[in-house]
Amino acid sequence: MTVAAIDCGTNSVRLLIADVDASGVLHERARVMRIVRLGEGIDRTGEFSSAALERLFGALDEYASLIDGEEVERIRFVATSASRDARNREAFLAGVRERIGVTPEVIPGTEEAALSFAGAVRGLRSGLVVPPALVVDIGGGSTEFVLGSTHPDHAVSVDIGCVRMTERHLVDDPPTEAQVRASRDDIRAAIARAAEVVPFDQARTVVGLAGSVTTVAAMALDLPEYDESVLHGSVLTADQVADVAARYLSMTRAERAALPYMHPGRVDVIGGGAMVLDEVMRATGAAEVVVSETDILDGIVYSIVT
C-alpha cells in the first residue's frame, strides 16, 4: 500500500509518501518539509494570521502535486499544537480540504505523543534504544513526553516549544540574560507538570525528535552540512546539549544563519528549542540523548496501515 502522511505543526508542515509492505516495513518515496510558521503570533492573538495561512496553503498546493504524482491509496493529515489553539481554525480546515481532499484531524497532545513514540522507536536500529524509552518530541508550540517499551505506557503534552518560547520571551538579538531566565522558568514549570504524569525516573533511554533536536546535534557534531544519515541514531551527552544551547543563545541571528547546517526557518527559533532540550536533560538526569530523524510522520504512516 502507498500512503501519504502530513504533519502540520506550529512551525512546519511535512509530508511523507511511503510504501508499506506486507510485513509492515516502511519504504520511503518522498519526505518533504516546509517551514510555514503557522503558529506565528498565535500565543498572543489566539488566531491564525492570514499571512500564516497563505504560507501553509502554498506548501499544501506543492504537496497536492506530489501526491497526485504517486499512486497514493490513503492520506492522513494530522494537525497539532497551533491548530488546537486557534479560534479561527475553520478557515484552516476548509483550506486543507480544498487542496488535499481530506479533513485534517486536530489531534490531542496525548495522541500526538503516541504517534511520535511509534515513529521514533520503530525507526531506530535494534539495540540502540534500551527500554523503557522516554521519547521527547520538541515542536514549535508544544513538547510531548512518552514513556514505554513496545508501546506508550505514559504520555503527556505541554505547551513549550521553540516558536512559543521565542515569541514569548526571546525577543532580542541575541536574547538578554533576563529573557533566557524567564524562558527557562517557563520550561522548567512545564516539565515539572509533565513529570507528574510521566515517570521520568523509569526511563533507561531518552530519545529526542524533531528539528530542534537534530539542529542541536548538527552543531555538536560540527557537520559541514545537514546530513540525516549522520544525525539519525547519533548520541549526544548532556554536556554537549548544554554547551550547544548556550552557544545558540549567545549568537546573533546573522551568526546562526551562516551555519552550514541551519535551515532558514529555524534561524529565529533554535535557541528556544535547544533550551527545551537542555532543560529536559537536566530534569531527567539523563547522561545521553539518542537523536532520531524518524518521528510522528512515520507514526502516522504506521497508523494508516495497522
Looking at the fold, whether 212 and 269 belong to one and the same domain comes out as yes
At which of 48, 78, 107 does a domain end?
107
Same domain for 279 and 240: yes
- For residue 262, what is its C-alpha cell? 541551519
Pairing of strands 105-106, 74-79: parallel
Residue 305 lies in a domain: no
The reply to whether 67 and 144 lie within a common domain is no
Give the CATH number, domain containing residue 75.
3.30.420.40
Given this model, what pLDDT does residue 186 score? 96
Q: pLDDT, tens digit, for every residue of 69-127?
A: 998 999 999 997 667 778 888 999 999 999 999 999 988 878 888 898 989 988 887 78
The pLDDT tens digits of the residues spanning 173-205 come to 999 999 999 999 999 999 999 999 999 999 999
303 belongs to a structural domain: no
CA angle 297, 300, 301 (to 5 degrees): 90
Query: Domain span at residue 42?
Result: 2-107
The residue among 80, 107, 134 that closes a domain is 107
Beta carbons within 10 angstroms of residue 79's beta carbon: 24
- The pLDDT, as a whole number, for residue 86 is 82
> What region, left, alpha or beta, does residue 118 occupy, with left being phi > 0 and alpha being psi -120 to 50 degrees?
alpha
- Same domain for 191 and 51: no
Q: Identify the pLDDT of residue 89.
A: 85
* Same structural domain, 50 and 128: no
| 8 Å CB contact between 147 and 203 | yes
Same domain for 199 and 120: yes
Average pLDDT, the chain: 93
Residue type, 270: I
Which range is least confidently modeled, 8-12, 33-37, 218-222, 251-255? 8-12
Assess whether 262 and 131 both reside in one domain. yes
| 38 part of a folded domain | yes
Q: What is the CATH number of the domain that holds 261?
A: 3.30.420.150
Higher pLDDT, 26 or 281: 281
Core vs surface per residue 95-118: b (16+ CB within 10 A) or e: bbeebbeeebebbebbbbbbbbbb
Let me know whether 154 and 31 are in one domain. Answer: no
Q: For residue 304, tell me if it sits in a domain.
A: no
Residue where a domain stops, chosen among 107, 122, 143: 107
Q: What's the predicted TM-score (pTM) here? A: 0.86
Domain count for the chain, please give it.
2
User: Do residues 245 and 126 both lie within one domain?
Assistant: yes
Are residues 134 and 26 located together in one domain of the fold?
no
Both ends of the chain: CA-CA distance in Å?
11
Question: Taking residues 226-247, what's their average pLDDT?
Answer: 97
